[in-house]
Each structure stands twice: as structure tokens, then as C-alpha cells.
């Protein structure tokens, strides 16, 4: 008798839980179509990036400064500026942080202007991992979706998000493989990485290595 009552109670608990979690689980399922945009074949054929560089200024990040670092004011990326400040970096080259493939290169909507997302594969502790670099507010887009890019290749120019901001590059590094744009600010940073810290940790080259040879300001 008591066993049966306990069973009924447990069943009720599970049903209640299913109803509570149901919407969230369905929400995940609704995201599936975008997941399908990056197929296992796409992932397997991604070039393996051996090294990551800063996307603005020199490959070491010189000639640029970070006006709003990751997590400051719930910021999901770094706001990189030319050292001249204000609009002095308008039109400056934006470089791919590493070898990879363009997932998205288009108008990101209000607040963004043009955005580019590049998906990278890299090896860490023997495992193949994926990370995406996100370049926001760019002026000119110089690459197209599915195009393969090389580390240090110019992919865009610094913009103002369609006149919304002083020229700067909003730069994110994310652990996602889906080409979503999202918002630039969020309290929960799960899935986002500290861009500067990630690049510093994945330089793959000594700091005294020469600067970007094709960098012209």
C-alpha cells in the first residue's frame, strides 16, 4: 500500500517535472534547424588552426586597445579600437583571427551593422575543438559565406555599426558552432570566451615573433 502511494507520488513528481522542463526542451529542439547548417562533413573539413592572432592592429594586438573588455557591463566580447581613438580606425583592416571558414557575413540587424562569423577548428590536449570568432559593426565585408579564410587575411574594415558608434571592432570568441548573431551583452556568458585571453593562450608563436607583415595602416 505505502509502496504504491510512494510510486504514485514519484510519478506525479515526474509528470510535474516534465511539464516544467517541457518548454525548455522544446526550445532546444526549435534551434535544431540552425544546427543543421554546420554538418559533420563541414566540421571535419575545417582547416585546423594552429595559431590565433588579434584581429585589429598587429597580430599581437599592438596599435589597438580594448575599450570595453569581456564581461565589463555584461559585454560578450572586446571592443577593439585603433590607438588613435574616436574614428581614427574607421576603414582599418580587420583580420581573420585564425584559419577557418566563414559561417556568416551579412547585416546583423539594428545595433550591429555588418557582422562576420568565422568557424575555426583547433587541437587542444589531443582533442579537436571548435571555436568561432565574431566581428561586429564592420564597414566593408570582404569575404562570403562558406569561404575559407587564412589567419591574418583581411576580411573586413572597421566600421561604426551604420553610424551608431564611434568606429570600433566588437570582437567575440564563442564555443558555438551555429552561426547565430545574438546580442552583444548578456549576464550569462556561458559559451562565450574571453577573446584576449583565448588568443593569448593560443598564440602558438613566441611573443617576439615579427609583426603582421602585410599590415598597412
Contacts with Zn ion, residue ranges (CB under 5 A): 79, 170, 184
Q: Which is nearer to Zn ion, 144 or 191 (CB)?
A: 191
Shortest CB 115 distance to Zn ion, Å: 11
> Residue 197 CB, nearest distance to Zn ion (Å)?
16
Query: Cβ closer to Zn ion: 59 or 79?
Result: 79
CB of 124 to Zn ion, least distance (A): 26
Q: Are strands 114-124 and 48-49 parallel, antiparallel or unpaired?
A: parallel
**Alpha-carbon distance values, 8 to 20, 22, 58, 82, 201 (Å):** 18, 20, 66, 66, 53
Kindly state the smallest distance separating residue 61's Cβ from Zn ion, in Å.
16
Backbone angles phi, psi at 129, to 5 degrees: -125, 165
Closer of 121 and 161 to Zn ion (Cβ) = 161
Q: Among residues 75 and 212, whose Cβ is nearest to Zn ion?
A: 75
Residue nearest Zn ion, Cβ-based: 170
Amino acid at each position: 500500500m505505502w509502496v504504491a502511494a510512494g510510486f504514485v507520488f514519484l510519478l506525479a513528481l515526474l509528470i510535474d517535472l516534465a511539464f516544467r522542463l517541457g518548454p525548455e526542451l522544446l526550445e532546444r529542439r526549435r534551434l535544431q534547424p540552425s544546427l543543421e547548417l554546420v554538418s559533420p562533413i563541414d566540421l571535419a573539413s575545417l582547416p585546423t588552426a594552429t595559431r590565433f592572432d588579434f584581429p585589429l592592429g598587429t597580430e599581437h594586438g599592438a596599435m589597438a586597445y580594448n575599450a570595453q573588455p569581456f564581461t565589463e557591463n555584461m559585454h560578450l566580447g572586446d571592443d577593439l579600437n585603433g590607438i588613435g581613438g574616436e574614428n581614427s580606425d574607421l576603414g582599418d583592416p580587420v583580420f581573420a583571427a585564425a584559419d577557418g571558414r566563414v559561417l556568416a557575413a551579412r547585416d546583423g540587424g539594428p545595433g550591429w551593422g555588418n557582422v562576420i562569423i568565422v568557424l575555426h577548428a583547433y587541437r587542444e590536449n589531443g582533442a579537436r575543438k571548435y571555436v568561432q570568432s565574431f566581428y561586429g559593426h564592420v564597414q566593408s565585408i570582404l569575404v562570403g559565406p562558406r569561404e575559407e579564410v587564412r589567419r591574418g587575411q583581411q576580411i573586413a574594415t572597421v566600421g561604426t555599426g551604420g553610424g551608431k558608434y564611434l568606429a570600433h571592432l566588437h570582437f567575440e570568441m564563442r564555443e558555438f558552432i551555429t552561426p547565430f548573431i545574438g546580442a552583444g551583452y548578456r549576464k550569462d556568458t556561458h559559451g562565450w570566451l574571453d577573446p584576449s585571453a583565448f588568443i593569448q593562450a593560443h598564440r602558438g608563436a613566441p611573443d617576439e615573433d615579427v609583426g603582421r607583415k602585410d599590415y598597412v595602416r
